A and B are shown apart, each in its own frame.
Chain A
Amino acid sequence: MALRAAERSDLPSERASRLVRLGLSPHRWDHLIALAGNPNVGKSTVFNALTGLRQHTGNWPGKTVARAEGAFLHQGARVKVVDLPGAYSLQAGSTDEEVARDFVLFGQPDVTVVVVDATRLERNLNLVLQILEITDRVVVCLNLVDEARRRGIRVKAKRLAHELGVPVIPTVARRGEGIDDLLAAALAVATGDRPTHPRRIGSLPAPIDEAVRSIAPLISEEFPELPNLRWVALRLLHGDERVAAALGSGEIGGLGGELRPVAAHSEKNGAHPGGKRVLQAAVEWRGALGSGLHDEFAEALFDEAARIAKECVRREDRRSGERLDGRLDRWLTSRVFGFPLMIGVLGVVFWLTIAGANVPSQLLAGLLIDDLHPMLLELAGSVGAPWWLSGFLIDGVYLATAWVVSVMLPPMAIFFPLFTLLEDFGYLPRVAFNLDSLFRLAGAHGKQALTMSMGFGCNAAGVVAARVIDSPRERLIAVVTNNFSLCNGRWPTQILVATIFIGALAPPHLAGAVAASAVVTVALIGIVFMFAVSWGLSRTVLRGEATTFSLELPPYRPPRILQTLYTSVIDRTLIILRRAVLFAVPAGAAIWLISNISVGGTALAGHGVAMLDPVGVAIGLNGVILLAYVIAIPANEIVVPTVLMLTVMALGSPELGEGAGVIFERDSLGEVAALLGAGGWTLLTGVCLMLFSLLHNPCSTTIYTIYKETGSGRWTAVATLLPLALGFAVCFLVAQLWRLGAA
């Protein structure tokens, strides 16, 4: 977004450095608005309405898996909005909550807008009351008032504002209602034009109150500018390590109005002696208070929340929406229909994806590969580019990219919107609800059902989605096993091989159905491996009880079809495609190079094939396939064209292909079948290739994503090598048994 006004220069440098640590660029705005709220209250919709960005919003808890930011100009002022992950509280029970808490506390937003769901006000007030303990500058966005009205719930916003001591703005963010008022109120609070008198919890239980009263003055002595002494004291009594660390290092001193350079000082010395004294006192009090502190604090908050809700919420006896939801839930989670309906819905999604992607895929391939590729070559020839340059760039880099785009884009552009519609409607949490008992037996979390389904679209997306799982152990299991979901990039290989080798075994009118069921079987084998490996991990290296399980089932909401189409194409499809293209470029280059650089009269690729052939044959494959998988680490999509290209080269009959190192597509299945037959492929090769395509290392995009998500090289290695080892083992076994049977 173009921001023309001159940069404001009075941003305190200490705050700037803190924001950099939180991943924000520290300049270029006048007002910083943080959006906080429970999961699934329409926070991201409010964000979109405020910023005009079409950021994707979902209908499952914890959907805002990464923090989104947006900026805009408002009456000459630059406003930046940060959408925080959903949080039930600031106790930082999960990664998402930690991000939200750290930002509200250490990011020092000019105003925090807390989005609450008018239909579930009482529970939402818990977070509001906690945030009011930290900061005065709060505006409450009372969202989903239309949904509440449908359910016969009326919230008196004025009364609520009076009770909380901060502005309360009713909104229907989906339709943009109330957003202007919200922005005006937020900016008025941010600038101090509209003073607030936030409600602080009046009645702490006596022993806690005593402890807070004796610690707060100590903190105030060391950090006189700190505005939220009581809260900091409470956090210390709770044993909050992050706050304790901030106090011990003196970092927390910068949180007051007047900033002083404590952080710079402490970074040199690594400690703040005054802070240490406070910590010591807190530790002593904690010992005296015992362990019931969390409980009592939570009770005090909810007593207050219940009291406020009673004052402000009126219920009418008109609950048609509730009855409809109840009826839907009884069907979708029924013992009899729950599982069949789920399999049916997911089956339709996959069928639509595969069947629907065919035509646009061929159109794209026709355009990018059949038409544009020769044109580019001609153009290169006419400007006199040397053969190696046009070969490298056009036959190598361009063609691999074109292939990835034409194979990958259509299915993703169909799968992700469908997935998003189910998500927005509220069905996916019910899938997790239904499948949880299976995941529980495997020692995993029910929400892994969601990351698994997402993995069928793209494993990298599935790995990122695992952030919705609160407990680290279960999240790691979901990350490591996501690769067992047969992703979009592998479907083309599966379908092609199944059609040529397995469909051909059946009578012609059944061939399609037989091939399709072979692919489904492979996908199901993947699910079995996912459960088995989850079970194995949770019994060995990731042993432990499920640390937390709670799954909120949001009310059903009518999905917005057009917006979903738009946002999921922008948000998921294009991002993943961009990454895939980034990785396809070097792969295309590598393919061309190894085919065109010769050592001792044979191309590098030829040496590679010869070297890998013994291993390949032992596991039912061949050297060509293994080399293709080495080259195709960047993207599974290019396995098929690479195999074809290498086969042609290995056969040494260039008239079949288009030249060394040129990825190409055969127009008819018959030609491909004949080519593979000439390369020595049998039914065993086909079966083993289908298994190996399921069980091998994740693509490099996914590996990179796993590393980013886990921050651990060790777990990245496990997630990469474990499926590969399984692939070798399974294919070896199948090949040996097959040959025994044939002998």
Chain B
Amino acid sequence: MTLADISPGDSATVQGISPRCDGPARLRLLDLGVVPGTVVQARLESAAGDPIAYDIRGALVALRREQAALIAVTSAGARGEPVGADWR
């Protein structure tokens, strides 16, 4: 399962970033806290449906679907408050 598969309101635990995502794009995701173990919650769909904004380590960060599809996750319980849901 990837981050692109979770719908707004749901949370997931990051397993890792695909090796296909490398260079600055990978660095940026790592800097934003997308590392194994991070609990991410999908928060908000943009008006056009893509990108989607995720709560990552307390900050609201928009990622495009194609990027989210490169982040492997496991389900971390549906519709609950994620552990790091303190973005506001």
Contact = CB atoms under 8 A, between A and B. Distances in A.
B61 A552 contact: yes
B69 interface: no
Contact of A333 (B17, B36, B47, B84): B47
Contacts of B27: 89, 91, 93, 294
**Max chain B Cβ within 10 angstroms of own Cβ: one of A330, A335, A549:** A549
**Max chain B Cβ within 10 angstroms of own Cβ: one of A322, A550, A551:** A550
A501 interface: no
B47 A334 contact: yes
A336 B48 CA distance: 10
A446 B35 contact: no
Chain B interface size band reads 35 or more
A716 to B, nearest CB: 25
B44 interface: yes
Nearest to A91: B27
Nearest to B63: A550
A90 B43 CA distance: 28
Contacts of A326: 43, 88
B63 A552 contact: no
Given A126-B31, A299-B35, A302-B57, A550 B49 contact: no
A351 to B, nearest CB: 22
A549 B63 contact: yes
Interface in B38-68: 38, 43-51, 53, 56-64, 67
Given A93-B27, A338-B47, A436 B86 contact: no
Contact of A547 (B16, B23, B60): B23
Interface string A72-92: 000000000000000011010
Given A325-B88, A333-B46, A549 B67 contact: yes
A315 interface: yes
B24 A93 contact: yes
Contacts of A434: 46-48
Interface in A330-353: 330, 333-335, 338-339, 342
Given A119-B86, A153-B86, A433-B46, A88 B31 contact: yes
A120 interface: yes
Contacts of A122: 33, 57-58, 84
Contacts of A597: none
B60 A440 contact: no
Contacts of B31: 88-89, 91, 93, 126, 298
Contact of B61 (A153, A295, A298, A551): A551
B88 to A, nearest CB: 4
B56 A123 contact: yes
A136 B66 CA distance: 40
A338 B46 CA distance: 8
A437 B49 contact: yes
A471 B43 CA distance: 25
Nearest to B50: A437
B46 A437 contact: yes
**Max chain B Cβ within 10 angstroms of own Cβ: one of A334, A551, A554:** A551
A547 B50 contact: no
Contact of B45 (A306, A333, A471, A553): A333
Contact of B32 (A329, A437, A550): A550
Interface residues of A, number: 56
A669 B40 CA distance: 61
A437 B33 CA distance: 24
Contact of A550 (B23, B35, B62): B62
A159 B30 CA distance: 27
B62 to A, nearest CB: 4
Contact of A549 (B56, B64, B88): B64
Contacts of B87: 119-120, 322, 555
A742 to B, nearest CB: 42
A91 B36 CA distance: 19
A306 B16 CA distance: 17
A438 B61 contact: no
A151 interface: yes
A302 B46 contact: no
Contacts of B35: 295, 298-299, 302
Contacts of B50: 436-437, 440
A334 B48 CA distance: 8
Nearest to B19: A291
Nearest to A299: B35
B6 interface: no
Nearest to A153: B86
Interface string A435-451: 11110100000100000
B21 to A, nearest CB: 10
Contacts of B36: 299
A333 B48 CA distance: 9
Contacts of A120: 57-59, 86-87
A121 B25 CA distance: 23
B79 interface: no
A335 B47 contact: yes
A126 B33 contact: yes
B35 to A, nearest CB: 5
A312 to B, nearest CB: 13
A94 B60 CA distance: 20
A313 B87 CA distance: 13
A123 B33 contact: yes
B29 interface: yes
A339 B49 CA distance: 12
A321 interface: yes
A96 interface: no
20 contacts: A119-B87, A119-B88, A295-B16, A298-B35, A299-B35, A302-B38, A325-B88, A329-B44, A338-B46, A338-B47, A339-B47, A342-B47, A435-B48, A436-B51, A436-B64, A437-B46, A437-B51, A440-B64, A549-B67, A553-B53
Interface of B: 16-17, 23-33, 35-38, 43-51, 53, 56-64, 67, 84, 86-88
Closest 9 CB pairs of A and B: A338-B47, A298-B30, A437-B48, A88-B31, A89-B31, A322-B88, A551-B62, A434-B47, A120-B58
Given A123-B32, A302-B33, A549-B63, 5 more contacts: A294-B27, A295-B16, A330-B44, A433-B46, A550-B67
